Amino acid sequence: MKRLLSLSLLACQFWGLNGCARSVPEGYQVKVLYPEEITPEDRAQFTDALDKYPRKELPRVKWSQTVFAWIDSTHVALSVRETPDGWKAKDGELARIIIIDTDTNTITESPYRGELMCFSYVLNKVLIRQPLDGMSLLNHRTDDKFLAGKWGEPLKDVVWKFRGPAEFTEWSCEQQPKIKRLNANVEVNELKLLPGHGTLRFPRDGYVGGDKKFTEWLGEDGRVLGRWSYQDTEYPIRFYFLPWESAYWNGTTGTSRLYRPKGEIEYIPLPQLLLWWQRNNVGDSIAWQAWPGTIWSFVGKVGYWRRQGLYLHSDTGLLRIDDGQWSIPNTLSVSPDGCRIVADRIARDPTRTTKPGPLTMMNFCSESKK
In a domain, 369, yes or no: no
Looking at the structure, do residues 12 and 69 belong to the same domain, yes or no? no
Own/partner long-range contacts of 172-176 (Cβ < 8 Å, ≥24 apart): 172/120, 172/123, 172/125, 173/117, 173/118, 173/119, 173/120, 173/123, 173/125, 173/126, 173/127, 173/148
pLDDT, the chain, mean: 81
pLDDT (average), residues 135-155: 78
Query: What is the DSSP pairing of strand 28-33 with strand 3-8?
Result: parallel
Give the H or E element holding residue 314.
strand 309-314
For every residue of 87-148, DSSP letters joined together read: -BPPTTPPPEEEEEETTTTEEEEEEEESEEEEEETTTTEEEEEE-TTS---S---TTSEEEE
Domain containing residue 9 = 3-34
pLDDT digits (tens, 9 = 90+) for 297-319: 998 888 888 899 999 988 888 99
Residue pLDDT, tens place only, 77-92: 999 999 999 999 998 8
Read off the pLDDT of each residue in 242-268 and give the average, rounded to a whole number: 90
Q: What is the pLDDT of residue 28?
A: 53
> Residue 200 phi/psi, 5° resolution?
-100, 135
> Which three-class secondary structure state does DSSP give residue 276?
helix
User: In this structure, are 153 and 123 located in the same domain?
Assistant: yes
Query: 159 and 25 share a domain?
Result: no
Q: Is 370 exposed, middle or buried (0-12, 13-18, 19+ CB in 10 A)?
A: exposed
Both ends of the chain: CA-CA distance in Å?
Answer: 54
Same domain (yes/no): 21, 101: no
Domain check: are 27 and 74 in the same one? no
Q: What is the pLDDT of residue 205?
A: 61
State whether 129 and 12 are in the same domain: no
- Cβ neighbours for 161, distance < 8 A, ≥ 6 positions apart: 142
Decide if pLDDT at 62 tops 70.
yes
Residue 352 has pLDDT above 80, yes or no: no
In a domain, 67, yes or no: yes
State which amino acid sits at residue 67: V
What is the tally of structural domains in the chain? 2
Instruction: Let me know whether 67 and 24 are in one domain.
Output: no
Q: How many CB atoms within 10 Å of residue 224?
A: 13
Q: What are phi and psi of 13, to 5 degrees?
A: -65, -35
25 and 64 together in one domain: no
pLDDT for res 327: 72
In terms of Cα–Cα distance, which of 181, 291, 198, 286 is closest to 237? 286
Domain membership of residue 195 (yes or no) is no
Q: Which residues contact 41 (CB under 8 A, 6 or more apart)?
A: 6
